[in-house]
Structure 1
């Protein structure tokens, strides 16, 4: 096996969760380490989809109405800039109501067209089994020393 060059990345520490790896990099930053040369590398990455609940046509229409309302508010605000007199609020309200109605229609019809192929809502995320802190080989000893101090200081304060 060949010796790494000064710029090749070397893993100096590994953690089981991302927030701990993030705290380690923050510790390095607080202690003057050149963190612009640090990487957090997740290994054994998997996709996790957490199911939040059942999705009905009514819920899809409600979500569409909410989304359409926000879009209508945006459009209404833009149009009200060019409205003279005191009728600007009527333009704003009309745009929001139109957005709500069309959003509900598109949300409900869009869900109904799937014919039950996906009747649930979910949130997807990527999770890694392990998070490694990588630095260029020429900085590895310094990073290891600082992270060892971090671990030692944490054990002393608890």
Structure 2
């Protein structure tokens, strides 16, 4: 990070834009997966290429939501009870540590209260959906392809290095 009174980070003269901007540079490689594009840039770095001139651009992005499981009242309440139990156990342990002669009573009270509150909040949250979202999912932002761009001053040497990498690699 740089300020008006400091040098640029990592000794580079180039600053990352503060606002969203379109990428600049010439394409030096195009890959089907982010892993392949990352491996290409890593290869450039291994060859002492000035990677601060390089940008990986995901082209045609899409949001992919992968459904993991179906939600039921049993799963929701069980999950709420478990998370409430852990929190209640934590609070009960803290209370028993700082209350002289308290014994196990604060731990038991914390555990029971945690389960009760976990059940209540899980039930309220699930009931609020009114059955419109009876599943658990994970979202990912992916692209159709990943282009590696480079500033014009080093684009030709970057293309040559990536071409040599492609010729030397039989599998990714």
What's the CA shift for 1:114?
1.7
What's the CA shift for 1:138?
0.8
Look up the match of 1:123. Answer: 138
Counterpart CA distance in 2 for 1:127 and 1:81 is 49
Spell out the pairing of 1:1-150 with structure 2 (5 A cutoff): 8-72=24-88, 79=94, 83=98, 95=110, 98-150=113-165
Counterpart CA distance in 2 for 1:132 and 1:125 is 19
Long gaps (5+) in structure 2? 1-23
What's the CA shift for 1:54?
1.1
Q: Which has the higher contact order (CA 8 A, sep 6+)?
A: 1
Describe the SS at the equivalent of 1:44: strand
Stretches (4+) displaced over 4 A? 69-77, 84-97
Counterpart CA distance in 2 for 1:28 and 1:74 is 49
Look up the match of 1:4. Answer: none
Look up the match of 2:9. Answer: none
Counterpart CA distance in 2 for 1:13 and 1:110 is 47
Describe the SS at the equivalent of 1:33: coil
Describe the SS at the equivalent of 2:169: helix
Contact 1:61 1:106 in 2 (8 A): no
Describe the SS at the equivalent of 2:98: coil
Look up the match of 1:5. Answer: none
Counterpart CA distance in 1 for 2:40 and 2:59 is 17
What's the CA shift for 1:126?
1.2
Counterpart CA distance in 2 for 1:65 and 1:28 is 51
Counterpart CA distance in 1 for 2:62 and 2:48 is 34
**Comparing both structures, which one devotes a greater share of its residues to helix?**
1
Long gaps (5+) in structure 1? 1-7
Residues paired across the two proteins, number: 150
